[in-house]
Structure 1
Amino acid sequence: MSEPTSLPLREKIEAKFKWNLCDIFQSDEKWEETFRLAEEQIPVLKKFEGTLAVAVENIISYLKMEEEIEIILKRLHLYAMLSKDSDMNVPKYQSMDSRIKTLITNFASYASFFKPEVLKLEKEKIEKWCEEIEELKIYAHFFDDLFREKPHSLTSGEEKILALTTELKNVPYNTFSLFTNTDLQFPKVNDESGNEIEISHGRFYSAMYSGNRDFREEAYRAYYKPYMQYANTFSSLLMGNIKGNVFSSKVKKFNSSKEASLSRNNISIKVYENLVKAVNANLGPMHRWTALKKKILTVGELHPFDTYVNIFPNEGKKYSYEESVVLIKEALQPLGTSYFEILEKAFSQRWIDVYETRFKRSGAYSSGTTVGVHPYVLLNWNHQLNDVFTLAHEMGHNMHSYYTGTSQPYVYANYSIFLAEVASTFNESLLLDYLLEQSQSKEEKLFLYEKYLNNITTTFYRQTMFAEYESEIYQLVEEGHSLTTLDFRDLYKDLYQKYWGSEMLVDPEEEYTWVRIPHFYYNFYVYQYATGFAASELLVQKIKSEGVSGVKKYLQFLCSGSSKYPLDILRDAGVDMSTSEPIIATINKMTLILNEIEKLYN
């Protein structure tokens, strides 16, 4: 049966493959009722303004009320976001999402007095209260973190004004997201069977794995066509986003946007720079992989649309969602009964929205921690092995969120992005190791070794390349340059060529990849994929070498939330990211796998 030429409507998908949002609110009406309640509660925070230095009881009461309101706001936001992302063409859910974001901004404005008032107090006095007063004991790390950022704090009035700029700063990303997911029209192409199909975000990636090179090239050029057409618009949006982040970092007295972003998690800029430096000094394995791909594909020129296709194909094997759930359960069994039982709930109780439908948000994500509600996962299933790994990846996030949300008090019931990508890539690594153990033939091993190299390429090298790109464009803007589309293109092309090596021919389309990457709107986010990948590799090794002890440390890592600084939480689990050791270990593993491939292939 040929693939449908257009995406199905959401109502055509069975309920068991769609997330159950009734676990958040029973209806849109209940959401509206709760929204009105939150609107009424937020102004009550104002009564605490000017009182925090008067009595410690006021601080305790404020913290309790703020947490109660935040929990409601996060629940409201979760429901609105998931409803909107299910079908981004429904005005009601676009409106709900916009309204709750506005309300969250208002909340931040009302709460903006708290930090400046507390920071007027002596740190020693706060520390003494945290030692002596039972209700404040859990806040010791919270206040330590607050005072750590004192050099970058503003007055109450300034904090309020800055909070009100949040919506303005979000406009570039919101416009990018809506434009990309609803307005961008992709050309139709002929698939391998000659059927005309509508290109979409999901089908583009599916096409890139096709063994038919003509189809790959046609799909690749078709997919980039609208991005190239509107490149100036995207360039303007990205510049607007960068300028917004530069503005905030200057107002907060940071030396750069990078420093401001990393400071939130108490991460030294040296960690970022160390990653880029270490990878740049070890591009050899990446270039070796590029040359090997070109050789085995027997192409005169290697193009970007050749980078996804398997050089050791597994006969076009497709993976059903149900089959993949079984594989993931088996792969993650080393993590024990508790982990498995929660995983089973996620799969059986509709925490996951599986299939791509018309107007559904592209990509995949886990919704994160929302107190009192389990986390959700969005997928766009295309029956590729990559989808199996995406599911394992997002379930890593989900389990991290679940353990954190059920183990920590609200103040620490979240985790930094720096830690988030550890749990997700950890699951991918366990899945790949399991599949390799189950492989029966040389062909299967080669296929899976290649998958591993593709993981390192996309999650480690590619994200480091993105991190280097982001660092360069921000530095130029902070030096006073206004970047044009041509500037963005040239910078990206040079980096792409450097990372992939001389065997790669960089097509004009590839110069526009920066246009379609949403993570460039997240302000120094992508480097954490690479550091997370390196950390997760070491953690998997420790689970295998230490057994039950290693599992216990890993589960404690998942439970830790933000109760300590991220680098300290990782050190407790056995990984020190302040050194280059995890990065070099990952690169060395790539070299070993390349050696294995060459042995099996020759």
Structure 2
Amino acid sequence: MKKIFTSLLSFAAILLLTSTSFAQKERSEIDDQYKWKFTDLYDSNEAWSEAKNQLSEKMNKVADYKGKLGQSSTNLLDYLQFSDELMKEGYRLYIYASLKSDVDLRDADNMARVKEIRQVFVEYGQKASFVTPELAAIPEATMKKFISEEPKLEVYKMDLMDVYRMKKHTLTELEEGIMAKTGLITGTANSAFSVFSNAEMPRAKFVIDGEEKELTSANFSVARSSADRKVRQEATKVYWDNYLKYEGTFGEMLNGQIKVDVFRAKARNYESCLEASLKGNNIPVEVYKSLVKNVNKNLDTFHRYLLLKKRMLGVDQLMYSDIYAPTVKGVELKYEYEEAQDLILKSLKPLGKEYTDVVDKAFKSRWIDIYPTAGKRSGAYSNGAAYDVHPYILMNYTGQYNEVSTLTHELGHTMHSYYSNKTQPFATAGYATFVAEVASTFNEVLLNDMMQKELKDDGQRLSLLMSMLDGFKGTLFRQTQFAEFELAMHEAAEQGVPLTGKKLTKMYGDITRKYYGHDKGVCKVEDNVAVEWAAIPHFYMGFYVYQYSTSFVASQALAAKVMEGDKEATKRYIEFISSGGSDFPIELLKKAGVDMTSSEPFEKTIASMNKIMDEIENILDKRN
């Protein structure tokens, strides 16, 4: 009943490229307290292999249920409980393999384990291909009767009844079996992208502090935020020129993923790839399109932010290579990891002692892999799919304030998973990605609110307020820009347009120039920046990024009430992150107090952004 890889692959990475120091240590040089404790999952690689073999053997028993699901409520319950146990262990196996791989993408043994467990699931998908068609064949009245006579089926009611909503997209047993077999190849483009971009792609050389070094994604993230404009511009040129050398290769990889999306949508009788992506969680297509429309209507607000950045940098013409530059001279908010812990714990106090106690446990019990090391996956994410264990967080922490924000962001995901796993049975513990980003961005709002109250110096306040605006830029506008590009790519592919690397670069470049007001003189976008699409891993995740934007909007509304001291709002929020997937995402948010089918949350978010800019302008005017 659960989608096998939904929660496994929904890694939350608010930052595309995480800031790291120029010199990366080997993993062996990092103290164990700052690294994941894999033994919470399995004692050793050998124990993992044994558990994997046992799971593979158990999966063969699914054939015993064929033709029996509709015979009685007892048979149906037996199958669902059997499936839950398999998935629970399967998730655990997959997480161990993927985490081990992510700490060193150069290790072939780690990568092999990921492929092994994926193969196990693909084979199981073929063996269990009869399940969905067989469930769909049960008359709806019979299904309701089964649920009423067997109380233990109540926990599965939402999924069981949803079968009838999705019946149009359910195939025959033979067809479902074929679709399951495609799992052997449909992840190839994503895997190739990950290995090539993180480990094998040749890097250009760049002179740093008088020494020529490779300009890795981590080094570029630091260089593009340099106070020296010449360094920013040169790094931007060198970095994206290097990507242009492999434009064709990246184009083929992304084209391969888009073809997979188009095939799946057509095979399951969806009108579009977008509908195929959203319908499973009962998200109206209009929610996606309205987000893009609303953001485009408010690009003047984004341009106001960019012009404010231009003013603070003191440049005649703002360039795309300037957008990550520090805007307050002589002020840099940096915090050691232990300081970041204290700040985060203090900011989360409005959510109660139980909440902060668990966050403190995450810090102390090695739930977090903290520092960047050679071969480690870039970015950040939280994975909470190990139902009987605890969530795991990947970081690449070096002390900048935006990384403190990223850490509390990922802890939001972790606490969402923790509360859902603690409160919900396994069948409803997993939550949709549409709500996944609410808890993470909610934590960021609390952190920024606390920091605003803590900092009294105008320079520090300006730095913080600009960091908050950078959050609006990165989460609302940038992710919607990505979403618009995703939609354009898929619509072009659905119309038979060949997606070459050059075509994708032109599409991405046109959208980027529109967002940044290139033709209006707001922010000039360097030509080679148009290949930035090639570095975005989220484009391999099928309409994922728009949920950063919608969740950001929802969390702004929810957090405002909690920060006002509304105890009922706080109670509703804890209930929300404890709800898992017990209802559809739109309905869960309505219960929490925000209606994402209306424009009101978006309008309030834009108003909040303008309020921050008003405050910045007041400080600047006073200082001048």
Taking structure 2 as the reference length, the TM-score comes to: 0.94
1:335 corresponds to which residue? Answer: 351
Question: SS of 1:377's equivalent?
Answer: strand
1:434 and 2:453 matched: no
CA distance in 1 between partners of 2:130 and 2:378 (Å): 38
Structure 2 distance, partners of 1:366, 1:221, is 32
Matched, 1:59 2:76: yes
Q: Is this contact kept in 1: 2:73–2:149, CA < 8 A?
A: no
Map 1:395-544 to 2 at 5 A.
395-501=411-517, 502=520, 503-544=522-563
For residues 553 and 579 of structure 1, the distance between their equivalents in structure 2, rounded to whole angstroms, comes to 20
Which residue number corresponds to residue 600 of structure 1?
Answer: 619
Residues 246-286 of structure 1: per-residue CA shift (max 9 Å, x gap): 00000100000000000111000010111111111111111
Deviation (angstroms), 1:225 = 3.3
Counterpart pick for 1:106 among 115, 120, 123: 123
1:579 aligns with 2:615: no
Post-superposition CA distance 1:474-519 (Å, at most 9, x none): 1111011112222211211111111111221111221001111011
Q: 2:387 aligns with which of 371, 386, 389?
A: 371
Q: Counterpart in 1 of 2:60?
A: 43
1:171 aligns with 2:193: no
What is the alpha-carbon distance in structure 2 between the residues aligned to residue 412 and residue 526 of structure 1?
23
Partner SS state of residue 525, structure 1? coil
Encode CA deviations 1:208-234: one digit per residue, 9 max, x unaligned.
221111222222223223321111000
- More displaced 10-residue stretch of structure 1: 43-52 or 205-214: 205-214
1:432-453 CA-partner distances (Å, limit 9, x unpaired): 1110010111112211111111
- 2:28 corresponds, among 8, 11, 16, to 11
Q: In 2 relative to 1, CA 126–505 (structure 1 residues): closer, same or farther, beyond 3 Å?
A: same
Deviates more, 1:271-280 or 1:216-225: 216-225
CA distance in 2, matches of 1:148, 1:67: 22
Task: State the secondary structure of the residue aligned to 1:189.
Answer: strand
Match of 2:109, SS state, is helix
User: What is the rounded CA distance, in whole Å, between the counterparts of 1:142 and 1:5 in structure 2?
Assistant: 48
Is the partner of 1:445 in helix, strand or coil? Answer: helix
Output the amino acid matched with 2:38: L
SS in 1 for 2:161: helix
User: Which letter maps to 2:118?
Assistant: K
Cα distance in 2 for residues equivalent to 1:40 and 1:57: 24
Query: Residue 247 of structure 2 contacts residue 502 of structure 2 at CA under 8 Å; is this kept in 1?
Result: no
Deviations, residues 363-412 of structure 1 (Å, cap 9, x unaligned):
11111222101010001112211111110111111111111111111111
Distance 2:100 2:443 in 1: 27
- Alpha carbons of 1:313 and 1:400: their partners in 2 closer, same or farther (altered >3 Å)? farther
Residue 301 of structure 1 corresponds to which residue in structure 2?
317
Partner of 1:232: 248
CA offset digits 1:154-209 (Å, max 9, x no partner): 11111111011023111001100010111012223233x43444322222222222
Does 311-320 or 124-133 show the bigger shift? 311-320
SS in 1 for 2:394: strand
CA distance in 1 between partners of 2:213 and 2:604 (Å): 43
Alignment RMSD (CA, Å):
1.4
Matching residue of 2:327: 311
The runs of 4+ residues in structure 1 deviating greater than 4 Å are none
Q: Which residue of 1 aligns with 2:609?
A: 590
Amino acid at match of 2:146: W
> Aligned letter for 1:584?
E
User: Residue 225 of structure 1 aligns to which amino acid in structure 2?
Assistant: D
**Alignment match, 2:15:** none
Give the distance between the partners of 1:491 and 1:333, measured in 2 at CA: 45
Deviation at 1:314, TM superposition (A): 5.5
5+ residue gaps in structure 1?
Answer: none
Distance in structure 2 (CA, Å) of the matches to 1:423 and 1:112: 34
Q: Give the whole-Å Cα distance in 1 for the aligned partners of 2:524 and 2:137.
A: 58
Preserved CA contact (<8 Å) 1:460 1:530 = yes
* Count of residues in correspondence between the two structures: 599
If the length of structure 1 is used for normalisation, what is the TM-score? Answer: 0.97
Q: Deviation of residue 137 (structure 1)? A: 1.6
Superposed CA deviations along residues 105-140 of structure 1, whole A, max 9, x for unmatched, are 112222221111011011122122212212212111
Structure 2 distance, partners of 1:176, 1:572, is 39
Equivalent residue number for residue 87 of structure 1:
104
Contact 2:331 2:463 in 1 (8 A): no
Higher relative contact order (Cα pairs below 8 Å, separated by 6+ residues): 2
Letter in 1 for 2:205: K
Identity %: 38
Change in Cα spacing, 1:364 to 1:314, as seen in structure 2 (3 Å) is farther
Q: Is the 8 A contact 1:142 1:411 kept in 2?
A: no
Contact kept? 2:22, 2:219, Cα under 8 Å: no
Deviations 1:288-334 (A, max 9, x none): 11122223322233221100112124623432111111111111111
Q: What code does the residue aligned with 1:527 have?
A: Y
CA distance in structure 1 between the aligned counterparts of 2:67 and 2:391, rounded to whole angstroms:
37
Corresponding residue number in structure 2 for 1:208: 224
C-alpha distance 134-6 of structure 1, shift in aligned 2 (>3 A): same
User: Residue 12 of structure 1: CA displacement?
Assistant: 0.6
Does the Cα contact within 8 Å between 1:112 and 1:156 map onto a contact in 2? yes
SS of structure 2 residue aligned to 1:190: strand
- Counterpart AA for 1:266: N
Code of the aligned partner of 1:571: K
* Alignment partners' CA distance in 2, 1:313 and 1:403: 42
2:203 match: secondary structure: coil
- Is the CA contact 1:184–1:226 (under 8 Å) kept in the aligned structure 2? no
Moved more, 424-433 or 198-207: 198-207
Q: Please say if residues 208 and 308 of structure 1, whose CA atoms lie closer than 8 Å, have aligned partners that are also in contact.
A: yes
Could you report, residue by residue, the CA deviation over 1:463-483 in whole angstroms, capped at 9, with x for unpaired residues?
A: 111111111111111011112
Q: Distance in 2 between matches of 1:450 and 1:317?
A: 12
**Contact 1:154/1:252, CA 8 A, preserved across alignment:** yes
Match of 2:3?
Answer: none
Shift of residue 4, structure 1, vs aligned partner:
7.6
- Judge conservation of contact 2:37–2:366 (CA < 8 Å) in 1: yes
Unaligned runs of 5+ in 2: 1-19
Q: Cα gap change, 1:136/1:314 in structure 2, threshold over 3 Å: closer, same or farther?
A: farther
Deviates more, 1:478-487 or 1:35-44: 478-487
Task: Supply the distance in 1 between the matched residues of 2:559 and 2:486 (Cα, whole angstroms).
Answer: 29
Aligned residue runs from structure 1 range 79-228, under 5 A: 79-191=96-208, 193-228=209-244
